[in-house]
Amino acid sequence: MSKSSTKAVLLEVHSIAGLALSLLLALVALTGATMSFEDEIQAALNAGMTRVEARAEPKLMPGELIARVQQTFGANKISSLTITGNTTSAVRIRFAPDERRVRPSSVYVDPYDARVIGTPVGEGFFITVRKLHRWLLIPGDAKGYGRPITGIGAIGLILMLLSGLVLRWPRRARSIGAWLKPGFALRGRGLHRSLHAVFGTWVLLIYLVIALTGLWYSFDWYRQGAVWLLSHPSSSTTAKAVRSPEPPEKSGGKFVISSSDLDRVWAAFLEKQTQGFAIAQMTLPTGSSKIVRIRSWPYDGSSGERDEFRVNAATAKIVSSELYAEKGFGDRILARVLDIHRGSILGWPGKLLFMLAALMMPLFVVTGLLLYLSRRRHKQLSRVVRDDPIQIGRRENWANDSKF
């Protein structure tokens, strides 16, 4: 196949993928940009209810805290609580979905007396945006059709990025400067192509990172392959996991966790986490499971730099532990997929850069569509003037106006 034929095929692949997935990619990009600074926005909106007055008496243990909150909210089952390491922060309580599969809003409570302070502002909005971003609001959430659809969109984006890179590759090294400079002085098709190609080159690497990490959340086979490729078999996750047999289940086959069980679990966690923590999230077991999962984040750490412990609530024995400091390079990458996906691995400048790149996606949708329509018009004019010499001059004039 000749070089021109190869580029023609790549152009078709690029155009078809773009036309088929443009709206999907624009929706996913804009919702992702909206969530870029979600933590900072929610912290600002709820600053008044996340702080409490420090007191001389000790904070309530998690079991007692949950028991008191449960008395207030009755049938709403608590699924997790988030505790900070300082004395002036409220505890955030999250509830499990009810029988209609609707999750009640979380609440902030005073860690000293379990007094309900309030419901976080903006939580519902960001939950909806997240469901739209990950599952397109299609019923079933992670088990529905929205998850693989967004994955197909990510694969299509990768195809467009690679085909666009080949189509744009400079013939001479000296042309790299012009390759990265947009032609704002152009007009018509030339301007559209310059904006589409040059800005696309600027964000190509960011889009490629977003797409490759986004596939982690869309396909199990992709996640398993990434774990096989990057995870080291002798890492702390495998080699230093502590295993202990679980006792027989309680009557009825469903384990009912008590306040004293949770307090013993928390004590086991504190004994293991000797370095202290900035944030700890305790997730309660469901069904017949006895395993309480506790994730802890260090001070000045990112969302991926976390330790994770699994504790048997019936015995207060640590079943397994994963310490970030003991992970190898590949396992650290796996632990920070979300940080890489949204750019926060580079701090707030990285998040800002990724957000701006995501906000540019509608530009590529519009300019790509205009270029496609322009090519169709050009082909139609070519058919008209093919056997009409009178029209040749007009055709050449139109082509000259479209150059860049």
Exposed, middle or buried: residue 85 (CB in 10 Å: 0-12, 13-18, 19+)?
Answer: middle
Cβ-based neighbour number of residue 42 at 10 Å: 17
Sorting pLDDT into bands at 50, 70 and 90, what band is 384? low
Among the three residues 68, 98, 120, which one is the final residue of a domain in this structure? 120
Per-residue pLDDT reduced to its tens digit, 214-239:
999 999 999 999 999 998 765 444 43
Is 7 a member of any domain?
Answer: yes
Q: What is the mean pLDDT of residues 278-285?
A: 93
Asked if pLDDT for residue 386 goes beyond 70, the answer is no
CA 326, chain centre distance (Å):
25
pLDDT on residue 239: 38
Query: Containing domain of residue 349, as a range?
Result: 1-46+121-232+344-404
Give the Å distances, CA to CA, from 66 to 170, 255, 268.
63, 17, 18
| Whether residue 157 is found in the same domain as residue 275 | no
Among the three residues 120, 150, 173, which one is the final residue of a domain in this structure? 120
Is 190 a member of any domain?
Answer: yes
Sorting pLDDT into bands at 50, 70 and 90, what band is 399? low
Indicate the pTM of the whole model. 0.85
Q: How far apart are CA 162 and CA 159, in angstroms?
A: 5
Residue at 270: amino acid letter? L
Q: How far apart are CA 33 and CA 358, in angstroms?
A: 6
Is 113 a member of any domain?
Answer: yes
Per-residue pLDDT reduced to its tens digit, 184-199:
888 988 899 999 999 9
| Whether residue 65 is found in the same domain as residue 115 | yes
Among the three residues 268, 297, 327, which one is the final residue of a domain in this structure? 327
Asked if pLDDT for residue 240 goes beyond 80, the answer is no
Asked if pLDDT for residue 114 goes beyond 80, the answer is yes
Per-residue pLDDT reduced to its tens digit, 137-159:
999 888 999 999 999 999 999 99
Q: Report the candidate in 361, 351, 394, 267 with the shortest Cα–Cα distance to residue 23.
A: 361
Which of 128-132, 166-170, 346-350 shows the lowest per-residue confidence on average (mean pLDDT)? 166-170
| Whether residue 243 is found in the same domain as residue 315 | yes
Asked if pLDDT for residue 161 goes beyond 60, the answer is yes
Specify the higher pLDDT residue, 100 or 356: 356
Q: Report the candidate in 156, 160, 158, 155 with the shortest Cα–Cα distance to residue 197.
A: 160
Sorting pLDDT into bands at 50, 70 and 90, what band is 304? confident
| Whether residue 138 is found in the same domain as residue 220 | yes
* Number of independent structural domains in the chain: 3
What are φ and ψ of residue 163, in 5° steps? -65, -40
Give the Å distances, CA to CA, from 280 to 37, 121, 187.
21, 22, 56
Q: At how many degrees (to 10) do helices 361-385 and 188-214 cross?
A: 130
Is 332 a member of any domain?
Answer: no
Is 361 a member of any domain?
Answer: yes
Asked if pLDDT for residue 34 goes beyond 90, the answer is yes
| Whether residue 309 is found in the same domain as residue 375 | no
Asked if pLDDT for residue 25 goes beyond 90, the answer is yes
DSSP 8-state secondary structure symbol assigned to residue 57? S
Is 227 a member of any domain?
Answer: yes
Specify the higher pLDDT residue, 301 or 207: 207
| Whether residue 221 is found in the same domain as residue 354 | yes
- Average pLDDT taken over every residue of the chain: 86
pLDDT on residue 181: 86
pLDDT on residue 350: 95
Which of 233-247, 266-280, 296-310, 320-334 shows the lowest per-residue confidence on average (mean pLDDT)? 233-247
Is 335 a member of any domain?
Answer: no
Output the domain CATH number for residue 321.
3.10.450
| Whether residue 319 is found in the same domain as residue 247 | yes
Is 397 a member of any domain?
Answer: yes
The percentage of residues in the chain with a pLDDT greater than 70, rounded to a whole number, is 85
| Whether residue 258 is found in the same domain as residue 176 | no
| Whether residue 388 is found in the same domain as residue 272 | no
Asked if pLDDT for residue 365 goes beyond 50, the answer is yes
Q: How far apart are CA 304 and CA 332, in angstroms?
A: 8
| Whether residue 184 is found in the same domain as residue 221 | yes
| Whether residue 29 is found in the same domain as residue 154 | yes
| Whether residue 80 is found in the same domain as residue 135 | no
